[in-house]
Amino acid sequence: MSIDLGHASGYLIFALIFAAYFMALEAIFLSFARRSSARSAVAKRLSVSDEAPASDQRMALVKARQTRSLSPDGDYILPTIWLNRLILQSGVKLGVTGFPLIIVGLSGALVLLALTLTGSVVISLPVGLAAGAGLPVLALMYIRQRRRTRFEAHLPEAIDTLVRSLRAGHPVQAAIRMIVREMPQPVGPEFAIVADELTYGLDLETAMKNLHRRVGQQDLGLLVAAIGLQGKTGGNLAEILGNLSSVIRDRLRMRLKVKALSAEARFSAIVLSILPFALFTILAVIAPGYYGDVWSVAIVKPLLVVAAFWMLVGNVVMYRMVRFEV
């Protein structure tokens, strides 16, 4: 069997172009997320001291909301609520126009790339637009999940810091400021916004609800419920939060155990999802005529569409089988 080096080098060039676009997209989101900032930058970020002028504190709060695609009053600003919520919970600082500009730029690049590969406007236009809109959304979902995981890992420690400060006799706002100073991202900056909202008249329960909306982490709902219950019925807030910290740690331990037990099934699902594309790419490189001989047959393309649909259904089923809620 002879290998057509011209076709092989062409496929390699196209693969490198795809990889370059994906790496550029990842670099854009990493630069907006600023995940590698040091703890000193975290303390500086929104850690406004009590002696700072009120106007400076107000402007810091407004700027923090606007960079997270919120209005100055903390409401959603984009007409598509689910997209606004996704951008907010991912923690990227895109503002109002950042994400649409990324979609437009990436869509244009992918349309040109698809047009170069296929030579058909009818195929390249919908494929490029769908990929240009879908890939940034998938990237945001991935960043949001990683951010939630980091927040979940540090939440019990943050609650313990709050409990120790309350037992030492500090007011709630001072205790929250201690979390801002001592906790890394994303916990510190998020609680900094909570402290600023308390400064400007919001009650503790409302500020914590806003925190839950910005992060979307599941255990924060328990924290909001505990604070709301204590505000309505009274009681020792430090003791309530101390018990809640133990509950959240147990839930985290259970999640990690379930994740370890389902690791084999998740790996199998990933391999089964990648295998068809890997085989197609390998055959296209080592034997370009393997698919070329039947590509012009009328029934081939409809069969490929049906196969892709059923593969998508299978991937959804496998994902649901290996995903457990604790």
The low-confidence residues of the chain, meaning pLDDT below 70, are: 1-16, 18-57, 325-326
- 4: helix, coil or strand? coil
Q: Give the pLDDT confidence of 241-259 residue by residue, as tens digits.
A: 999 999 999 988 988 888 8
Instruction: Give the span between the Cα atoms of 237 and 246, in whole angstroms.
Output: 15
pLDDT for the residue 159? 93
* pTM for the structure as a whole: 0.71
pLDDT for the residue 41? 47
Domain ranges of the chain: 5-261, 262-326
Mean residue pLDDT across the chain = 80
Residues 215/88, Cβ–Cβ less than 8 Å: no
pLDDT for the residue 290? 74
Residues 32/144, Cβ–Cβ less than 8 Å: no
pLDDT for the residue 273? 83
pLDDT for the residue 54? 52
pLDDT for the residue 21? 65
Instruction: Give the span between the Cα atoms of 148 and 90, in whole angstroms.
Output: 8
Instruction: Give the span between the Cα atoms of 213 and 221, in whole angstroms.
Output: 10
pLDDT for the residue 236? 85
